Amino acid sequence: MPVVDIHTHVYPPSFMDLLRSRSAVPYIRSFPPDTSPRLIILPGEDSPSNPSTARGRPIGPEFYDISKKIEFMGKHRIDISVISLANPWLDFLPADDAGPIAQRVNEEINELCDQYPGRLFAFGALPVSASREVIVMEIARLSEKKYIKGVVMGSSGLGRGLDDPALDPIYEALQEHQLTVFLHPHYGLPKEVFGPRASDYGHVLALALGFPLETTVAVTRMLLSGVWDRFRALSVLLAHSGGTLPFLAGRIESCVHHDNHLLDELKQGERRSIWDILKNNIYLDAVIYSQIGLKAAVDASGSNRIMFVSSNGNFLAGTDHPFFPPLESKDDEWPSVQANFNAIKDAFDGNKEAADSILGGNAIRLLKLELRAE
């Protein structure tokens, strides 16, 4: 069974040029006296009060040179990568630029895949600040592209979150073209949540907690607004094993059932439960770095044998490359990747079939990846 990495990012050449040309987040620049370029993408991470090591992250060819991705895949025995534009995708573009830039970036990503047929596929990026017509047109266009298997999206949607009814034509188009949404966090939580000393802690609070909670809130809002009641075949792949969604699913469902305000609005009897959606519409990457988190997420879909097997079917392996590189030697295997892959193997110790499904089979099935005969 081939090993597939479904969570792995890239900035294609024209997007790099765009980042280098900008002076507001997101952008790339160096901070003297240091001359090496840094990538500034997260809200507020270029604050002068941040120590220089907390201002963004170093950026090198692993972010934009596709041969580095292939090298990384070789080093970690990954057969296929499904690449996606890294955050903040095209979210920040002025409305008029978004459509043409999306086309260019998606063409470049498709061409990168074409350089390594059978080894690279991709999630396209959507021009979310453009009109709905333009977005829907781009979805239709992407569905014709040889290597594009879905779209990557942030939690802000068209700017008002993923529970925004204005997204309905977009969900409809994604469902119609059977494109999976790879939902990835970017915005985190308001900085006040992390307190006045947050910058002493580098990116830890934002990435370890802000990201997963952002995803959890976004998906819960989709659930509460009835997105999956209206789009029953919409597939969404959640980054970082669904944030904390599997862990909190019972509490979410219980709060819904005990909320007087929701009694009429959600017509409790008819709405689909989070459990139903977790089993039928939601896929989780396995980027959680420990078997405890992975097992919790698997168990969240039910602990009996049949559910256990079916919940394996919703997990896909990922690396988050080129983020989380080793801080020291660059020649060895990346500990962040080893931690993820070991968690999968350990969590399914003795059940090779389940581990193989997560490492590759599920991605091949969900994204309909065409395998090449050797």
Max Cα distance, the chain (Å): 63
Q: Which pairs with CB-CB distance under 8 Å and at least 24 residues apart come from 264-269?
A: 266/224, 266/226
For 253-270, letters b (16+ CB in 10 Å) and e give eeebeeeeeeeeebeeee
In the bound complex, what is the minimum distance in angstroms from residue 83's beta carbon to ligand URA? 12
In the bound complex, what is the minimum distance in angstroms from residue 304's beta carbon to ligand URA? 34
The CA R_g of the chain, rounded to the nearest whole Å, is: 20
* Residue nearest to Zn ion according to CB distances in the complex: 320
Which residue type is seen at 14?
S
Binding-site partner at residue 41 among Zn ion, ligand URA, none, CB < 5 to 8 Å by type: ligand URA
Cα separation, 4 vs 79, whole angstroms: 6
Residue with tokens 């999306």: 102
- Of 143 and 180, which CB lies nearer to Zn ion in the complex structure? 180
Question: What mask, x for binding ligand URA by CB under 6 A, covers residues 24 to 63?
Answer: -----------------xx---------------------
64 counts as binding ligand URA under rule CB under 6 A: no
Binding-site partner at residue 266 among ligand URA, Zn ion, none, CB < 5 to 8 Å by type: none
Question: What mask, x for binding ligand URA by CB under 6 A, covers residues 320 to 349?
Answer: x--x--------------------------
In the bound complex, what is the minimum distance in angstroms from residue 229's beta carbon to Zn ion? 29
Cα separation, 300 vs 243, whole angstroms: 13
Instruction: Point out which residues pair with 82 in neighbouring strands.
Output: 121
* Residue nearest to ligand URA according to CB distances in the complex: 323
In the bound complex, what is the minimum distance in angstroms from residue 87's beta carbon to ligand URA? 5
Which among 168, 184, 299 has a CA at the least distance from the CA of 228? 168
- Numbers of helices and strands, H then E, in the chain: 16, 11
- Three-state DSSP at 35 gives coil
Q: Which of 1, 189, 207, 339 binds ligand URA (CB under 6 A)?
A: 207
In the bound complex, what is the minimum distance in angstroms from residue 88's beta carbon to ligand URA? 8
Question: What mask, x for binding ligand URA by CB under 6 A, covers residues 263 to 302?
Answer: ----------------------------------------
Question: What mask, x for binding Zn ion by CB under 5 A, covers residues 289 to 328?
Answer: -------------------------------x--------
Instruction: Return the DSSP state at 178.
Output: T
Q: Which of 87, 180, 216, 301 binds ligand URA (CB under 6 A)?
A: 87
- Locate 104 and state its tokens: 């260019």
Please give the C-alpha separations between residue 59 and each of 105, 143, 285, 300, in angstroms, as whole numbers: 19, 31, 24, 37
- Of 244 and 312, which CB lies nearer to ligand URA in the complex structure? 244
Binding footprint of ligand URA on the chain (CB under 6 A): 9, 41-42, 86-87, 207, 320, 323
